[in-house]
Structure 1
Amino acid sequence: MKHHALQLYHYHVWANSAFIEHLKALPADVYTAKVESIFPSISTVLAHIYLMDVTWLSVMQNKKFDEVVAILGPLQQLTKDRSLTDMEVMYLELTEQYHAFFGQQEDMDKLMVCEHPQYGKLETKLSQLVQHVVNHGTYHRGNITAMLRQLGHAGVPTDYIFYLFAQRAEA
């Protein structure tokens, strides 16, 4: 049986993909339109989700804080002002990296140690880190929904239950 954390990650990928497909169907300027919100545009939210997904994969791979910071610097520049199509490709490549990593894991509940200069050391399960990635994405997809509404467009339903219905329909 597949571990629940892997199903949650699959939901995260599904929800991100649903938003990307929805954005592709809207006028092109919606993606980069300036919005009074937590983020200045939808494009910056998608870049942020991507960067944090990279961050947490690096943590799961036991990279140290300084290594993660060194990875993120160039990636922040790489994601800046990228087209929706470019971000979609980057997300797909990152998803492949996550799947390759998960495929190497024998125990999704193994203990991991995360160290942060400000917050200290934390022992947590790998599955809990996956849950964090999913929760973080869900939070920011909510930001995108609010931004879309400000711009006069509907969001897309990506609650977990809709993912379960979609999975049932695919079966």
Structure 2
Amino acid sequence: MNNSTIQQYNYHQWANDRTFNHLSELPDEIYDNEIESVFSSISEVITHLYQVDAMWLSVMSGDAFEETMAKLKEIKRRSANKGLEQIQKLYAELSERYQPFLNDVADLDADISVNHPQYGTLETTVSELVQHVVNHGTYHRGNITAMLRQQGHSGVQTDFVFYLYEIA
């Protein structure tokens, strides 16, 4: 077991939870307000993050490309037009699938192959894909902070060091 990988995922979950909690304290319209940004609303960013996190769990689980795409179609259907509380619940359910998966992988640094029809075969590890999921989440939580500021609200601290302080 790679404790660093599990810690990184735990950080990702912590940062997402802090973001959800912060958003829930703001006026409801902030979540769906259309603004000019990378995404047209915070709800679109949150939905995108959920869909991508769920897709990568399918990939890390060893699903073939076609199976992952079929799951992604269902993930998109389930997460479309969800309010903050509903998407937060979907995220919690997803985290409940990630945790046992990561704990059950015998070696998170063992080589795996990811096959994509356009990009080819990638030789990687589950730990590297978790790093990608966490990095992707950090990037988009930054988008959310910028979108909140654009609407006159502050963001919430989700830097890794604040996670470390909290768990110390």
Normalising by structure 2, what TM-score? 0.97
Q: Which residue of 1 aligns with 2:68?
A: 68
- Alpha-carbon deviation of 1:126? 1.2
Matching of residue 115 in structure 1 with residue 126 in structure 2:
no
Q: CA RMSD in A?
A: 1.1
Cα offset, 1:11, TM superposition = 0.2
- 1:79 paired with 2:84, answer no
CA contact (8 A) 1:44 1:80 kept: no
Secondary structure, in 3 states, of the residue corresponding to 1:121? strand
C-alpha offsets along residues 34-78 of structure 1, whole Å, 9 cap, x if unaligned? 010111110110110010101110001000111111111122122
Distance in 2 separating the partners of 1:78 and 1:26: 25
User: Which blocks of at least 5 consecutive residues in structure 1 are unaligned?
Assistant: none
Q: Tell me, what secondary structure is at the counterpart of 1:39? A: coil
Alignment-mate amino acid for residue 89 of structure 1: K
In 2, the alpha carbon distance for the partners of 1:69 and 1:109 equals 25
Given that 2:2 and 2:109 are in contact with CA atoms closer than 8 Å, whether structure 1 keeps it comes out as no
Q: Give distance in 2, aligned partners of 1:57 and 1:95.
A: 10
Q: How many residues align?
A: 168
Query: Percent of pairs identical after alignment?
Result: 48
Output aligned runs, 1:156-167, within 5 Å: 156-167=156-167
Per-residue CA distance 1:99-135 (angstroms, 9 max, x = gap): 1111211111111111111111011111111101100
- Structure 1 letter corresponding to 2:104: Q
Q: Specify the alignment match of 1:128 in structure 2.
A: 128
- Matched-pair contact (CA < 8 Å) for 1:57–1:98: yes
Which residue identity lines up with residue 27 of structure 1 in the other structure? P
Which TM-score applies when normalising by structure 1? Answer: 0.95
- Segments ≥4 residues shifted beyond 2 Å: none
Cα distance in 1 for residues equivalent to 2:50 and 2:75:
10
